[in-house]
Amino acid sequence: MGTKERILVSGGAGFIGTHTVVQLLKDGFKVSVLDNLDNAVQEALDKVRELVGPQLSNNLDFHLGDIRNLDDLEKLFSQTKLDAVIHFAGLKAVGESVANPMRYFDNNLVGSINLYKVMAKYNCKKLVFSSSATVYGQPDRIPCVEDFELKAMNPYGRTKLFLEEIAQDLHKADQKWRIILLRYFNPIGAHESGMLGEDPRGIPNNLMPYITQVAVGRLPELNVYGHDYPTPDGSAIRDYIHVMDLADGHVVALEKLLQRNDIGCVAYNLGTGRGTSVLEMVAAFEKVSGKKLPIKLCPRRAGDATAVYASTDKAERELGWKAKYGIDEMCRDQWKWASQNPWGYQSKP
């Protein structure tokens, strides 16, 4: 297989980034990763290289840099011809964004605007952007359909909403832009090898990393936030999606972006279309890991929705993409990663 275009993957050392880079390299793309390692470590990219082997690793280069710094972007774009960008770089902790909104506006908004300026300057106008189901706010109806009205519930969500609108405006002003906005639901799981996975810094905010750390003994028990929701078991429902399905969704979106000139600026949900409750997730994880997870039933977490899941029709119809994996495979691969790497990419501190 000959090599294809060179793709800039911003935030490519992070959770979704590393899994996507593996699939891009396997598909024959050349990849330049730009990451400031704010929430990632170099070791993650070493694992990517190990996974794809020495030959495909020649198609991967890493640039330590920050999208908030125009010089870092200029340096990269002036030295390398980039054909398209998958833009993952950003901060994603909802609670932190409430406490420190400026950090989120600076990193996610200013950083992305810088990136788009430099992309335009170097005539690289093909973009896949990491959006989020957070743009649906507390949806009035489920499943969430792409043309629902959007709203932000917190500063993190506001950055995603603004960045979707900024992308629409960019395209309106200059039709050379081709932009795909991917709204991820709840990405979990890990590469099936157990070599790559999510490695959050500090105490995890999200359900699956928290469950994992309880299972390996790093945390004593899981707080289940809310057991009085109007759902069958009283816990909240989300649409969890295997990170490898998500990675494949990026590859198909990118292929479409490169092949078609009638993309415009368009949003797709990436989810499975199925909802799973917190307690169902605990049970599924206990089954694959053989571990009993101590849980504590707690009050609802502020700002949480009762039930959120995706309509996947548009992605199926227009991208030809559909998630392959279910909850059991997500838990299996999550456990493989966690049991092989209980302290993530680095050894026990």
Ligand X SMILES: NC(=O)c1ccc[n+]([C@@H]2O[C@H](COP(=O)([O-])OP(=O)(O)OC[C@H]3O[C@@H](n4cnc5c(N)ncnc54)[C@H](O)[C@@H]3O)[C@@H](O)[C@H]2O)c1
Annotated active-site positions, please?
156
Using CB under 6 A as the binding rule, the residues of this chain from 317 to 336 that contact ligand X are none
The single-letter DSSP state of residue 225 is E
- Where b means 16+ CB within 10 Å and e means fewer, 219-228 reads beebebbbbe
Please name which of 131, 245, 254, 268 lies closest in space to residue 188, comparing C-alpha atoms: 245
Q: How far is the CB of 38 from ligand X (least distance, A)?
A: 4
**Binding of residue 301 to ligand GDU (CB under 6 A):** yes
**Binding of residue 280 to ligand GDU (CB under 6 A):** no
DSSP secondary structure of 44-89: HHHHHHHHHHHHHHTTEEEEE--TT-HHHHHHHHHHS---EEEE--
What residue 289 binds from ligand X, ligand GDU, none (CB within 5 to 8 A, per partner kind)? none
List the x/- string, 147-176, binding to ligand X by CB under 6 A.
------------------------------
Segment interacting with ligand GDU (CB under 6 A) among 5-13, 106-114, 128-136, 258-266: 128-136
Residue 163 is encoded by which pair of tokens? 């960045």
Residue 30 is encoded by which pair of tokens? 């050349």
Q: Specify the residue, 88 or 321, whose C-beta has the smaller distance to ligand X.
A: 88
Segment interacting with ligand GDU (CB under 6 A) among 67-75, 118-126, 139-147, 301-309: 301-309
Instruction: Report the residue from 134, 213, 269, 341 that binds ligand GDU according to the rule CB under 6 A.
Output: 134
Q: How far is the CB of 1 from ligand X (least distance, A)?
A: 27
List the x/- string, 305-344, binding to ligand GDU by CB under 6 A.
---x------------------------------------
Instruction: Report the residue from 107, 186, 231, 269 that binds ligand GDU according to the rule CB under 6 A.
Output: 186
Residue 62 is encoded by which pair of tokens? 């890493």
The single-letter DSSP state of residue 316 is I
List the x/- string, 217-256, binding to ligand GDU by CB under 6 A.
-----xxxxx---------x-x------------------
Instruction: Report the residue from 51, 207, 267, 270 that binds ligand GDU according to the rule CB under 6 A.
Output: 207
CB-based burial of residue 166 (10 Å sphere; 0-12 exposed, 13-18 middle, 19+ buried)? middle
CB-based burial of residue 40 (10 Å sphere; 0-12 exposed, 13-18 middle, 19+ buried)? buried
What's the CA gap between 324 and 128, in Å, rounded? 21
Contact between 129 and 113 under an 8 Å Cβ cutoff? The reply is no
Half-sphere exposure of 228 (CA within 13 A, CB side): 4
Q: How far is the CB of 199 from ligand X (least distance, A)?
A: 8
Segment interacting with ligand GDU (CB under 6 A) among 99-107, 130-138, 261-269, 334-342: 130-138
Instruction: Report the residue from 94, 163, 243, 265 that binds ligand GDU according to the rule CB under 6 A.
Output: 94
Helices (H), the chain: 15-26, 42-57, 70-79, 94-99, 101-104, 111-121, 155-173, 207-215, 243-259, 278-289, 313-314, 327-340
What residue 94 binds from ligand X, ligand GDU, none (CB within 5 to 8 A, per partner kind)? ligand GDU
- Amino acid of residue 284: A
Contacts of 35 (CB under 8 A, 6+ apart): 10, 11, 12, 13, 14, 17, 62, 63, 64, 65, 89
Please name which of 341, 125, 325 lies closest in space to residue 245, comparing C-alpha atoms: 325
List the x/- string, 19-58, binding to ligand X by CB under 6 A.
---------------xxxxxxx------------------
**Binding of residue 67 to ligand X (CB under 6 A):** yes
* Contact residues: ligand GDU, CB under 6 A: 92, 94, 132-134, 156, 185-186, 205-207, 210, 222-226, 236, 238, 278, 301, 304, 308
